[in-house]
A and B are shown apart, each in its own frame.
Chain A
Amino acid sequence: MSSLTKIPAGVQYFFDDEARLRRYVERQVMEVFAGWSYDEIILPMFDYHDLFARGMGAERAEKTYRFVDRDGALLALRPELTSLVARTVATRFIHRARPVRLCYSGEVFRYDEPTERAAREFHQLGLEHIGQAGATADIEILLVAAEALTTLGIADYRVTLSHVDFFNGVAAALDLSATDRARLRELIDRRSSYTLDEFLRERAPKVEEARRIAFCRLTQIAGKAEAIAQAREVLINERSLAAIDKLEEIYATLTALGLAEHFDIDLGDAGGLEYYTGLTFKVYVPDWGTEIGGGGRYDHLIANFGAAEPAVGFSFALDGLVGALSRRDGAGQWRATDLSQAVALDGDFVQAFRRAQELRARKSKVKIQ
């Protein structure tokens, strides 16, 4: 250790109001999860590296902190929690009734080379709903996410809904090579419609001009029912159209529940494709420049650990929730309110400590002086 004040890059210490706020947010969110019958699962800080490679793919498992067990086996600090949950459900919960509802709160550790500035330790609050296909499970977890935000007093959140088959359908219809597919995805993800137009002209010359231009515009489109209508005009492949039908069904239910103002359809979201299989979503709030949560359906993951079964889940980034909340006025319920009663230690120590015990028995906060 070169200096006592030096801290490894990407790790954090929390104290005072910040520590209180983090615990407050964690309790509030976990209570909402419990209210929807999600049972907490407490997971190990590390496990075999191979487990994460199976769950998230070898490429993402590269970004783990790795070390060697006494017997020589390769271990990794957990880079995410879903693989741990999925393995548990596929093995130890094999005889339990479905769906299985589990939630968790914990830190994950990732090493991301190009962004030295980013944190390498993140606290996630999340849940998994395993063993049930279809829109009802999707809608359930969206409602849980919405309630957690409302409970925290974040009323101005925005959730963008997407579906992996918007992209997969288009990429399949264009019959692209793996490299071109990756490039297409990047262009859509960055919403670079000008470059996308050039790319399609070159790599998919058979697409008529009108459709190409409309498709490029589509990547910029996100919104309510009108976004669905615009997508229907442009997308003609069956896979993408089926995805639109599914999203429309979910959107209609959310609208009937009075939540339309918080939910948008986003056709330009091409993230998490190697992992998700259906609905995907991201949560944004003012005062925080990146998404503070997200999730989706991942029907292929559990099969990596046992029998295939459908699953859907999401997680919030505690840093995002706390960061957004702490920048708001009036959200001060976690602030230190020193209501403690001072107990003086002068004179008879035994008397003083007895007085403190009596106050504690009545749940009063005490401070020995």
Chain B
Amino acid sequence: MLTIAISKGRLQDETLALFAGAGMAAEEEALSSRRLLVEAAGGRCNFIFVKPADVPTYVEYGVADAGVCGRDVLLESQADVHEPLDLRLGRCQIAVAGRHEVVGEDYNLLATVRVATKYPRITAAYFQERGIPIEVVTLSGSVELAPLLGLSDRIVDLVETGRTLRENGLEVIDVITESTARLIVNRASFHLKRAEVSALITDLAGALKLGARG
């Protein structure tokens, strides 16, 4: 039986709907409880519900055989895992944003830019590639507040509809990359539980195609 780590929150409902479409529905009753470990109907897999940023860790260490998390989380964690499927859920962008005044303003290549983010590695890599010195301020939420209160010059954050940004007087300056939910698989499980892992990939790919047509 496979153990599958599911990201709680933003992606959870869509992920479970996709698994249900692939014949691995989580039992409703268990879901409505606050249990963190839930068996799929038919006993094909166990779901564990964890914070999105922890999904790559569970999978890399092999505590979960597979998991679903956003590409943003995966890039940030740099976890050494297989990434066989793009589940095309939760599409969003990782973007640099700032107050209207700074949009279009050139970076002063000599002065350090302060950037607030939940993604310190992605942020550092983006600015390093451009030779812009930065100071990363790592926050765990409400990143949009940072420029408003003068904590940072810019932010790097997820943008779905852009509404939160707009409501806080911020604008996207540059899109770093697109992000969607990915199926990730532990490297050892891929070989040791090959039949089950292949079936998981095939069934999810099938459910995705059905979803695309419907």
Judge whether B62 and A289 touch: CB under 8 Å.
yes
Chain A count of residues within 8 A CB distance of the other chain: 22
Q: Does B179 contact A (CB under 8 A)?
A: no
B42-96 residues at the A interface, CB under 8 angstroms? 60-63, 78, 80-86
Q: Which residues of A contact B60 (CB under 8 A)?
A: 289-290
Interface locus among A5-13, A102-110, A165-173, A188-196: A188-196
Q: Does B100 contact A (CB under 8 A)?
A: no
From A114, A190, A284, contact of B191 by CB (8 A): A284
Judge whether A290 and B83 touch: CB under 8 Å.
no
The B interface is mostly helix, strand or loop, or mixed, namely mixed
Judge whether B191 and A288 touch: CB under 8 Å.
no
Interface range for B = 20 to 34
- A117 to B: closest C-beta gap in Å: 9
Closest to A320 in B: B188
The A interface is mostly helix, strand or loop, or mixed, namely loop
Judge whether B187 and A289 touch: CB under 8 Å.
yes
Q: Does A203 contact B (CB under 8 A)?
A: no
Q: Does B177 contact A (CB under 8 A)?
A: no
Q: Which residues of B contact A164 (CB under 8 A)?
A: none
From B63, B78, B84, B194, contact of A193 by CB (8 A): B84
Q: Which residues of A contact B188 (CB under 8 A)?
A: 284-286, 288-291
Q: Known contacts being A114-B121, A289-B60, A289-B62, is A160 close to B191, with CB within 8 Å?
A: yes
Q: Which residues of A contact B164 (CB under 8 A)?
A: none
Closest to A189 in B: B82
Bound-state CA distance A158–B193 (Å) is 10
Judge whether B78 and A192 touch: CB under 8 Å.
no
Closest to A289 in B: B62
Bound-state CA distance A268–B86 (Å) is 18
Bound-state CA distance A192–B62 (Å) is 19
Q: Does B112 contact A (CB under 8 A)?
A: no
Q: Which residues of A contact B210 (CB under 8 A)?
A: none
Q: Known contacts being A114-B78, A114-B121, is A191 close to B192, with CB within 8 Å?
A: no
Which of B61, B83, B186, B188 counts the most chain A CB atoms within 10 A? B188
Q: Known contacts being A114-B78, A115-B78, A220-B198, is A191 close to B190, with CB within 8 Å?
A: yes
Judge whether A190 and B81 touch: CB under 8 Å.
yes
From A115, A289, A290, contact of B63 by CB (8 A): A289
Q: Does A264 contact B (CB under 8 A)?
A: yes
| Given pairs A195-B86, A289-B186, A289-B187, 7 additional interface contacts (CB within 8 A) | A114-B78, A114-B121, A190-B83, A192-B84, A193-B84, A264-B191, A284-B188
22 A–B contacts from the bound complex (CB under 8 Å): A115-B78, A190-B82, A191-B82, A191-B185, A192-B82, A192-B84, A194-B84, A194-B86, A195-B83, A220-B198, A222-B191, A264-B191, A284-B191, A284-B192, A285-B188, A286-B188, A288-B62, A289-B60, A289-B62, A289-B188, A290-B62, A290-B80
Q: List the 10 shortest-distance A-B pairs measured between CB atoms, nearest first.
A: A289-B62, A191-B82, A190-B83, A194-B86, A284-B188, A192-B83, A289-B61, A114-B78, A191-B84, A284-B191
What residues of chain A have their CB less than 8 Å away from a CB belonging to chain B?
114-115, 158, 160, 190-195, 220, 222-223, 264, 266, 284-286, 288-291
